Amino acid sequence: MTQAFLCSDPMVAMAFLSLNHARYDLETLRVYALGHLVPKHIMLPKSKITLLFDNDLIGKLWDIKIACLIRNKPVKIYFENRHCAFKLNNRSLQLPVDQISLSAFEKAAGIRTGIKTAKAKGHTTFLQQLIYDSS
Domains of the chain in start order, with CATH, are: 2-75+110-134 (3.40.1360)
Count of C-beta atoms within a 10 Å radius of residue 3: 16
The DSSP H or E segment spanning 48 is strand 47-51
pLDDT in tens, 80-134: 888 999 999 999 999 999 999 999 999 999 999 999 999 999 999 999 999 998 7
Contacts of 66 (CB under 8 A, 6+ apart): 6, 34, 38, 42, 51, 53
Q: What is the pLDDT of residue 80?
A: 86
Q: How many residues does the chain have?
A: 135
Q: Provide mean pLDDT across the span 26-45.
A: 88
Contact between 4 and 48 under an 8 Å Cβ cutoff? The reply is yes
Q: What is the C-alpha to C-alpha distance for residues 99 and 52, in angstroms, rounded to an integer?
A: 18
Q: What is the C-alpha to C-alpha distance for residues 59 and 13, in angstroms, rounded to an integer?
A: 14
The DSSP H or E segment spanning 95 is strand 91-96
Contact between 127 and 114 under an 8 Å Cβ cutoff? The reply is no
